[in-house]
Structure 1
Amino acid sequence: MTTRTPQELTVPVRGGDLAVTRWRGEGPAVIALHGITGNGLFFAAAAEKLGEVDVYAPDLRGRAHSAGLPGPYGIPAHVEDVLALLDHLGLRQALLVGHSLGAFIAAVAAARHPDRFPRMVLVDGGLGFPVPGGADIDEVIEAVIGPAMRRLKTTFPDRDAYHNLFREHPSLAAHWGPYVQAYVDRDLVGEPPAMRSSCVLDAIRADGAGPLGDPEALAAIHQPQVRGTLLWAERGVMNEPQGLYDEGRLAASDLAPDRITTRRIDDTNHYTIALADNATTAIAEAVHAELKQM
């Protein structure tokens, strides 16, 4: 397998420029959308498995090199940015790949613009479960991504201290290496002794509410024009045995099997489903299968 050197480009969007990492290929275009506190380099390992596929992975508005883009944030804003990226590339269509929050963005984009995004690969996300009536959305967000939110409010004395946070993360410890380090370094801003995550807290709050309570985000995957594959992790965000999905939850969701194919990726958690060798192979297989349907 030949290593592809990632390239950087910028795309004009509302309020400034969207930063995009590209792994150049001669094949069809894929736009890869990361999770809520991530950045485009999350897909570096998967991009290497995709061969000649032309991969574009933006840093979502409010993160990493796109942190300077202003609000309003939220899933509709990201859909607009993805559409602007497609237009900037001069492409009629692209396959969407989305992880976690990025999967919800992909599903909403496909529901709104099925002629531009006819197929997608969702990676441990995109299928939501409504918050029970009366629940406080802020409390639910804290319960789901509390550790990540606390990281965003913390300053670190130097780069090594930030690295150690991820080296010790129960979901990432076994996969620390060049890909994860580059992904972590892209997020880190500031100077010692007050380095911090690039993520804008208002963006994280706005985006986190979407998969939990926004009717459009919850309904998107069920729309008849939305088609693709959902890959789901065996374990959860903190490597706990219960993942975001399981056979029972998927059965109860009433997904249409003629539109959405589901597949469990064994021995993965919410993060390693895009990092582990068996997982990146599965993503590549799903991408190539979906491209054949376009």
Structure 2
Amino acid sequence: MTATWLDYTESSIPVPGGDLSVLRWRATGPGDEPAATASRASHPAPPPGTPQPQSHPPILLVHGITGNALAWAGVAEAVAGRAELIAVDLRGRAGSREIQGPWGIDQNAADLMDVLDALHIDEAVLAGHSLGAFVAAEAAATYPKRVTRLVAVDGGLGFPLPDGSDADAILEAVVGPAVKKLSMTFADPEAYLDFHRAHPAFADNWTPQLTAYLVRDTRLLPTGEAVSSCREDAIRSDGKQVLLEDRIRTNITALTCDVDFLYAARGLLDEPQALYDPGRLALAGLDRTPARIEFVPDTNHYTILAPGAGAEAVARALLR
């Protein structure tokens, strides 16, 4: 049976300050069939010395600044069980909302190692989208023996701020509605979905996976009103570290593991100017590293993970 994005399990893993919520899509490819149901007649033993197929290493997935683990649902559908996928809710978001700090990209990277330890995984492919790519790059830089490869999706490479810049103002300008919603209260969960239906990046790209992702982010108040699950202090702390710390902005250019860098054709608001383009990549020096750089047409910053061209391109990179 082909795996779908709904075929995941959820668990909690202890980390400093609380419990991290983790989703897992199990591999279902050849060799993963339970021994009790496998037919010996249909799967005879190969002759001695025959090379055996190697399973793909586990892939640990990290979402964007105000996202959650279901941001990867479209990619999970495209991977279709060909590898095990493990997606975290970063601290202060969705199922990991109740963690009481500390915040920061370096702490998020340490959390990823706690996840691998809890699941008894020595090495994994790391993949991150947007801010999650900075987290994944920090983990690859700090714990190189645990990371076999990095896949960065429209994120992970930053640019220095002009002197005297207001990091909070730039964070809101760059991320836009994703940060604005943190201070908003909505009449009910449907109104929260309506707010996102009007988002330029989603207007023509609404999917069941996107609905599930937003429902996971919705927190219901005793009044029946709805708010985002994201803790504003966690969001601002993580975002400002990306903006202000040179090491976090440039980790990806100095990694020793293989790197795949995928970037979207359009920006966060579906505008023609994307976060990355050949000129910006050259300015930051990524084009002078061994990274495999891939432009993903017909996508914006968010739909690069959505079912269709975006998720298929990301799935290919994950399974490469």
TM-score band w.r.t. shorter chain = over 0.9
Quick check: 1:121 aligned with 2:151?
yes
Q: Pick the aligned partner of 2:71 from 24, 42, 54.
A: 42
Tell me the secondary structure at the aligned position of residue 115 of structure 1.
helix
Query: 1:188 touches 1:198 (CA, 8 Å); kept in 2?
Result: yes
1:224/1:18 Cα in 2 relative to 1: closer, same or farther (>3 Å)? closer
The offset of 1:257, in angstroms, is 5.0
Look up the match of 2:218.
188
- Correspondence 1:1-294 to 2 at 5 A: 1-4=2-5, 5-25=7-27, 26=32, 27=55, 28-50=57-79, 51-191=81-221, 192-255=223-286, 257=288, 259-289=290-320
1:217/1:188 Cα in 2 relative to 1: closer, same or farther (>3 Å)? same
Bigger drift between 95-104 and 19-28 goes to 19-28
Distance in structure 1 (CA, Å) of the matches to 2:185 and 2:289 = 48
Structure 2, unaligned runs of 5 or more:
33-54
Instruction: Give the letter aligned to residue 273 of structure 2.
Output: Q
Query: 1:171 touches 1:238 (CA, 8 Å); kept in 2?
Result: yes
Aligned length: 289
The offset of 1:258, in angstroms, is 5.2
Tell me the secondary structure at the aligned position of residue 119 of structure 1.
strand
Query: 1:62 touches 1:68 (CA, 8 Å); kept in 2?
Result: yes
Instruction: Give the letter aligned to residue 314 of structure 2.
Output: I
Tell me the secondary structure at the aligned position of residue 106 of structure 1.
helix
Bigger drift between 5-14 and 35-44 goes to 5-14
- Cα deviation digits, residues 54-93 of structure 1 (max 9, x gap): 0010100000010000112010110111000011111110
Distance in structure 2 (CA, Å) of the matches to 1:98 and 1:73 = 18
Structure 1, unaligned runs of 5 or more:
290-294
Query: 2:103 touches 2:238 (CA, 8 Å); kept in 1?
Result: yes
The offset of 1:210, in angstroms, is 2.0
Instruction: Give the letter aligned to residue 181 of structure 1.
Output: T
Tell me the secondary structure at the aligned position of residue 118 of structure 1.
strand
Look up the match of 1:292.
none
- Cα deviation digits, residues 2-45 of structure 1 (max 9, x gap): 42511101111112210011111154210000000000000011
Q: Runs ≥4 in structure 1, deviation > 2 angstroms?
A: 191-194, 256-259
1:38/1:114 Cα in 2 relative to 1: closer, same or farther (>3 Å)? same
Instruction: Give the letter aligned to residue 62 of structure 2.
Output: L
Distance in structure 1 (CA, Å) of the matches to 2:231 and 2:284 = 32
Percent of matched pairs sharing the same residue? 44
Q: CA RMSD in A?
A: 1.4
- Computing the radius of gyration from Cα coordinates, the structure with the larger value is 2
Distance in structure 1 (CA, Å) of the matches to 2:293 and 2:126 = 16
Look up the match of 2:51.
none
Instruction: Give the letter aligned to residue 265 of structure 2.
Output: E
Distance in structure 1 (CA, Å) of the matches to 2:255 and 2:134 = 16
Distance in structure 2 (CA, Å) of the matches to 1:224 and 1:30 = 18
- Cα deviation digits, residues 152-203 of structure 1 (max 9, x gap): 1111111110111111211012221210000000000123542100000000
Instruction: Give the letter aligned to residue 203 of structure 1.
Output: A
